[in-house]
Structure formats: structure tokens, C-alpha cells
Amino acid sequence: MFEQLGLIGCGLMGGSFALALKRAGLVRRVVGYSKSPLTLARARALGVIDVEAPSALLAVSGADLVLVAVPVAACADTFKAIRHLLAPQALLLDVGSTKADVVAAARQHLGAHLPQFVPAHPIAGKESAGIEHADAELYRGCQVILTPLPETDPEQTVRAQRLWGALGAQVRQMEPQAHDAAYAAVSHLPHLLAFAALNALLAQPKGPQWLGLAGPGFRDFSRIAASDPTIWGDILLANRTEVLAQLQHFRDALAALEGAMQQRDTAALQALIGHASRGRSQHAQQWPAGGQGGAGAAANAHAAPAATAPALGGASNPAGTPEPRLCLE
Amino acid sequence: MFEQLGLIGCGLMGGSFALALKRAGLVRRVVGYSKSPLTLARARALGVIDVEAPSALLAVSGADLVLVAVPVAACADTFKAIRHLLAPQALLLDVGSTKADVVAAARQHLGAHLPQFVPAHPIAGKESAGIEHADAELYRGCQVILTPLPETDPEQTVRAQRLWGALGAQVRQMEPQAHDAAYAAVSHLPHLLAFAALNALLAQPKGPQWLGLAGPGFRDFSRIAASDPTIWGDILLANRTEVLAQLQHFRDALAALEGAMQQRDTAALQALIGHASRGRSQHAQQWPAGGQGGAGAAANAHAAPAATAPALGGASNPAGTPEPRLCLE
């Protein structure tokens, strides 16, 4: 049980964390700060926070738990702003999608408070961001990756593990660099590709008309393209080196497919598609049911059927199956 | 009301068509053929077809409605096989994802029966293909694109429109070439990109491990990568020129994003992401609710929120909202 959560950033991620803590009876009072006065007032009106703080520093004052839930590029300034009133035993968390840059900012700005910081990346989100979509159940069934440092107080890491676990998350630990390499591959590059696919369509005279013809396959494929430009510009730049390295791997794989098409090599093309299809199906089975796979993953076990089946090879959830709780990125 | 459906290809698409016709009371008897005896026996056991035919030709004998539901590359052989017993007034349909090649095959092989053929592409499918997943509701709410030829009997086109409409589909007409250009952009290229993204991951030593860390954003993005290799190899080769042209547009858009990352140009990167994000959100709103957008499209209207929101920019359906009936490609 925490006495007071200091919440810096009152958006979907921070607001959902506050609501989840309250629902779990794990916090007595939430003091919030947002750089947008309108957002702050809304957070108060919605009962996500109990007290509006006029600054990040004052939101932290008296808190035994602090969550920094701002775009990753804003973490450095936030750490700088709060360090003077951060209580020595308070647990400090973030929710950033990149970890090496946030860790570097923490090392630079937190000083003696560094051992209190347990960096965290919840693999959660919603298409509908903003405080009005905050959801006490957002983190249930999601993975949360903790990337504690050598300097991190092991007791704080244990507290962070228990806390995220109490909100229903599956907690894992990784090195910050290993985290960034993995998420460049399974999150950041896919976002970049989806942005490019949308822009390629929009750049063509008939693109908007074609978009009206799109089916659910495209809807699912392009969903991440609707992400927030500020947050995702930050992420792609913060993890630039890893994302560009992944882009090169992607280009190689694409060139192999294109080569088979250029040469009209049916067998080679089918082999390349088969490799992707089997890989997707096999790995989808291992995704946890809550949020990260669920109906989709289960259905996937049956994908890539016998060649006699004339299905068009689409992809979505089975009819009538409710989408698992979304917690995605 | 049709007396007899001759069904060539007993997979998800063909089987669902037969079940939908039966449920709507639009057919008295279904005679089916599959090149796989096992599939044919299953279709009979499941009540999808009433009579097993030993050949495509015999499945067509006596039919006043014929559906060719085989991979697009198999259409030419199928047309050749059935033309001698196709009744002069029978309505002939297909479900192929490409149209110019199917139309060319029809011109080459149907002879005097060409006016009976109304080419169709239902934007429908399932991750779980095969006859055992056939679903009488598969086509409800989906778009079906008809591409009649100058030679097509207008009465047959009207019959096809009414028939697909009676199964709950939204019917549109396009030229075959215009269809193929549009679906190269909104379906075939996205499949190619998803295949490449999976293969890029699988080619790296840590790729399989990283796949275990993927969240719902990747799950949705990669869903179409689980498609059937035979069907999709056919489609990509049949529509090769258009897909390769779309690939060049994609490369240009990707290069712009990469350039902004290389130059660490935050403003340019955010502008490019914002363009994609707004385009996705705006167009998702126009997708019909049944199958082709639904919850996702509605939720999307709120995507790309104010920059103050610290959400991680994920993407999926809202919590608890049932996925609309899948009919996707």
C-alpha cells in the first residue's frame, strides 16, 4: 500500500496506472501533474487524480511512489525537475517504450536517486489515447519489461515487480539494450513500416479512393499507423540505431520476396511465404492469452491450411469471439 | 432460387458460399468437387455439399449456378475443365483476389460461355481456412467487387449482384485492371510487407526469442503474414506488375521516414508520422461497420491524440468491444 502516487503525465498510460492502483486498493491519494492545464483538470474531474499539482516537482512532494508517464524525449527534463523533492525511499517508475535513452537520462539527472528508479515498459496501449480513455484494466494480462540497472536497489526492483504484478501484468526483466533491440524488431520497425505504407497510399492520386476498398486485413495491418506522431517520433529517434539496423534486415527479406516475384519463381515465392506463415503461426501460439494474442493467436494455430483450400488467406479474429482486452503497442 | 450449385473447390470461401446460400434458402442442392478426396468427403460430412462429384466437369453438370473457388492460378484449368457441360443459362462466378488474370483465363477458355461469367472478389476470409471453418455468415457485411466484362450478359451481372447482396454483402463494380491496381495497394503489398517483416525477424538469431515479446500491435500488424503460401504466391505473381509498382511507392515513402531519422529531424519525422496517422484515422472512419472496420474504425477516430498524452501509441480494438464479424483479406 502506497500513501501517495505522484503522477507526471496524465494520459492514457499514467491515468490507467492511477486507476488500476486505486481499484486494487494500493494507493491512498494520487497527486497529478500535466503540462496541459486542460488535461490536468480533466484527470481531476474524471477521478483519476485526487489533487492537481502546479508542477512536476510539487506532484512528487510527499509521494512514496512516482510514475513518469511522458513521451520518452521528455523524461530527462522530468527527472531534472523532480529530483530535489523525490523522497529517499520513494519508488520511481516510468512507462517509456525505449529504455537505453531513459536510463541514460536517469543516470545523468537523478544523482543519488538513481537506485530508486526501476525502468519499466508496459507492452500496453490503446488506439484511443488520452486521459478520457484511461482504464483500470489496461495492464491486466500485458507484459511489463523491467530493465533495472546495476545501481538499482534490489528491494525497489522487488517492489516494482510486485506492484506491476498486482495490476495483473506479467513481469519480465531485461537489460535496457537488449530491450531496445527486441522492441526495435517487434514494435518500432513495424510502426515505421505501417507509417510508410499509409504515406505511400496517400501519395498516389487514387490512394484515398483505394483506402475505401480496404478490408479487415489492411485494417489490422495498418492499425499501428494511427499512432501519436509526437510519441512515435520520439521513440524512433531514441532507438534510431536499432530501428535502422532492423530496417536493413527487413530490406533483405523484402528483396528475397521481390526477387522471386521478378523471376516468376513460384516455388521460391511459396517457400518464402510459407516460412513467414509458419513462423507467424507458431509464435502466435506462445503469446499470452490476455491481451497479447488471445483469440488471434488461438485462431492462428489453424492458419496456412492445406493448399486445396481456396480461402483468400485473410487474417482476423474468429467470428463472434470477443477481442481480448487490448493492451498493445 | 437456384436448383443446383456446382461448387469447384471446397475450402473456406466456397464452403461458406454454399452454406450461406443454403441458409438463405437460395439453393436446393449443392454438388461439390475438390481435387482433394479428403476435403470432398469432409465437405459432404459437414453438410456443406449434398453430393460429391468425381470431377469439376461433373460438378457443373445440371447446375444453374457455378462457383469456381480455387487458387487464381488454377482458374484457367478449371474453366477448361467445365466448359463442355456448363448450361447455357447458368450463372458462373469466382472468388479470386486478382481479376485481370482470371478474366484473361476466362476469355481464353470459356468460349461461348464468356457472357455467363461475372468475376467477383469478396473481400472476405478467415485466419482459419479450410472447409471445417466454412461459415454461412462469412460474407455478411463484406464488400464484394464485381468486374463484369463488356461481353458479360447484363442480366447475369444483375443476378450476381442480387445473389451476393442476398448473402449480406455490399456489392461494387469495377474494371478488372482498376480492381487489381487498388488491391495491389490495399491488400497484396501489405501481405508482401508482412511476409518480409516475419522473415526478417526469423532470419536473426534472436528473432524467435523477440517474437515472444511481441505485443498486440505486432499481432495485428503481422496477422496477414499467416496467410496460405499457395494462394498468396499465386496472387502476388498474378498481380506482379501492380504489386511491384506499389512496392516502389512504398520504398519512396519509407526512404522519406528513414531520411528524417538519419538526420535526426524530429519535426520532419513527426510530420510524416502525423500524415500517416491522420490518413489512417480518417479513412478508417469510412470503412463499413460489418467486418471491414467496425470497432477498430470507430476507435480510430480518437487516435493520434494531443501530444500531452503519454500513451504509447498502441493500436487495437477498445476493451470489451467484440470484434466485428471477420471478413477480411
Q: Is residue A297 pLDDT above 50, yes or no?
A: no
Question: Distance between CA B164 and CA B148 in Å, rounded?
Answer: 14
CA distance A108 to A101: 11
Count of C-beta atoms within a 10 Å radius of residue A288:
15
- Side-chain-side CA neighbours of B107 within 13 Å: the count stands at 11
Determine how β-strand A143-146 pairs with β-strand A120-122. Answer: antiparallel
Instruction: Show the beta-strand stretches assigned E in B107-188.
Output: 117-118, 120-122, 143-146, 170-173
CB contact under 8 A, B185 and A204: yes
Which residues on chain B are in Cβ contact (under 8 Å) with A309?
A: 11-12, 39, 129-131, 228, 231
Give contacts of A195 with chain B, Cβ < 8 Å. Answer: 253, 257, 272-273, 276-277
Q: How far apart are CA A281 and CA A273, in angstroms?
A: 12
Instruction: Please tell me whether residue A236 adopts helix, strand or coil conformation.
Output: helix
**Pairing of the two strands B51-52 and A117-118:** unpaired
Whether B180 contacts chain A with CB within 8 A: no
Taking the C-alpha atoms of residue B313 and residue A128, their distance in angstroms, rounded to an integer, is: 8
Give the pLDDT mean for A247-258: 98
**B120-122 and B143-146 strand pairing:** antiparallel
Main-chain phi, psi angles of A146, to 5 degrees: -100, 140
A322 at the B interface (CB within 8 A)?
yes
Q: What is the mean pLDDT of chain A?
A: 88
CA–CA separation, A22 and A5 (whole Å): 10
**Mean pLDDT, residues A124-147 taken together:** 91
CA A148 – CA A162 distance, rounded (Å): 14
Of A97-111, A233-247, B193-207, B313-327, the poorest mean pLDDT is in B313-327
State the complex-level ipTM. 0.85
Does A301 score more than 70 pLDDT?
no
Q: Determine if residue B239 is left, alpha or beta; phi over 0 gives left, psi from -120 to 50 gives alpha, anything else beta.
A: alpha
Looking at residue A289, its pLDDT comes to 55
CA distance B327 to B183: 15
Angle between helices B240-262 and A189-202 (to 10 degrees): 120
Residues 102-141 of B with CB under 8 A from A: 122-131, 133, 135, 137-138
Q: Choose between A285 and B55: higher pLDDT.
A: B55
DSSP state of A191: H
8 Å CB contact of B226 and A323:
no
- Band of pLDDT at residue A62, cut at 50, 70 and 90: very high
Strands B2-8 and B170-173: unpaired
CATH of domain B179-300: 1.10.3660.10
Q: Tell me whether A170 touches chain B (CB under 8 Å).
A: no
Distance between CA atoms of residues A131 and B245, nearest Å = 42
pLDDT of A323 reads 33
Per-residue pLDDT of chain B (329 residues; tens, 9 = 90+): 999 999 999 999 999 999 999 999 999 999 999 999 999 999 999 999 999 999 999 999 999 999 999 999 999 999 999 999 999 999 999 999 999 999 999 999 999 999 999 999 999 887 777 899 999 999 999 999 999 999 999 999 999 999 999 999 999 999 999 999 999 999 999 999 999 999 999 999 999 999 999 998 999 999 999 999 999 999 999 999 999 999 999 999 999 999 999 999 999 999 999 999 999 999 888 776 544 333 333 333 223 333 333 333 333 333 333 333 333 45
* Concatenated DSSP letters of A95-143: --S--HHHHHHHHHH-GGGGGGEE-EEE----SS-SGGG--TTTTTT-E
Contact residues for B77 (Cβ-Cβ < 8 A; gap 6+): none
Cβ contacts of B296 on chain A, cutoff 8 Å: 127, 219-220, 223
**Domain regions of chain A by residue span:** 2-174, 179-300
| Inter-CA distances, A202 with A127, A221, A278, B145, B279, Å | 21, 16, 32, 22, 7
Helices A229-238 and B266-286, packing angle to 10 deg: 130
Count of CB atoms situated within 10 Å of the CB of A244:
16
Return the pLDDT at A329: 60
Please state, as a whole number, how many other Cβ atoms lie within 10 Å of the Cβ of residue B282: 15
Contacts by residues A153-160 (CB-CB < 8 Å, ≥ 24 positions apart)? A153/A115, A153/A116, A156/A91, A156/A92, A156/A115, A156/A116, A156/A117, A156/A118, A157/A118, A159/A91, A159/A118, A160/A91, A160/A93, A160/A118, A160/A120
Determine which helix (DSSP H) or strand (DSSP E) holds A68, and give its type and residue range: strand A65-68
Whole-number pLDDT of residue B327: 35
Q: For residue B179, give the DSSP letter.
A: H
Picking from A33, A127, A230 by the largest number of B CB atoms within 10 A of its own CB, the best residue to mutate is A127
Superfamily of domain A2-174: NAD(P)-binding Rossmann-like Domain (3.40.50.720)
